[in-house]
Amino acid sequence: MPQNIIQQGTINRLYATVMPGDSTLSQLKVISGFLGADAIRLAFDDTATDLLPTMTGMVTSPRPYQGVTLTIAIVKTTTCAAAYMARFLDNTYVGQVTVTSDAPAQGAGISASGLGIFVLYNMTLETVREMLFNGSEPIVAVTMRGYRYVNDNAFGNVGLNVVNGLIVNA
């Protein structure tokens, strides 16, 4: 029986970035040279659709947004780490952030490969993970929280339209 061999592709350790949408926050841009080995971690905190029980089954309830947590392992000896620590003291609001994954998108639609980019909204600096100051840990782990839009085509009939991740009036 022949095996179905699928091209696995390549991930790029140096491709992932974090880019604030506000140009006045350019000092918070994170590229590979600022990252420790744990790099960038993006977690989806909520479900994209809830399944609500009924007497005889379940009803779907799609959400227009999904909470996210972004954790960035920044080398603590860099200007980027200093900028993030200063931002905690000044104003924890960051706003829109674009995260580029380590798997660049290729193609489009259902046949696309790779993860591409994630546009995150209303991002705020939340915390800094415990830091070790004994000369053996090179990073400071910064955590941000916010949300992303999901179910872009689920709300067209109810006055809420999401187009390219932005809510627009119907």
pLDDT of residue 124: 98
Determine the Cα–Cα distance for residues 76 and 134; give it in Å rounded to an integer: 13
Report the C-alpha gap between 83 and 34 in whole angstroms: 12
Average pLDDT in the 83-107 region? 92
Burial letters 32-44, b for 16+ CB under 10 A, else e: eebbbeebbebee
pTM of the full structure: 0.83
Domain ranges of the chain: 17-169
Mean pLDDT of the chain: 88
- Cα 15 vs. chain centroid, distance in angstroms? 14
Which run of H or E residues covers position 149? Answer: strand 139-149
How does residue 109 score in pLDDT terms, banded at 50, 70 and 90? low
**What was the pLDDT predicted at 152?**
83
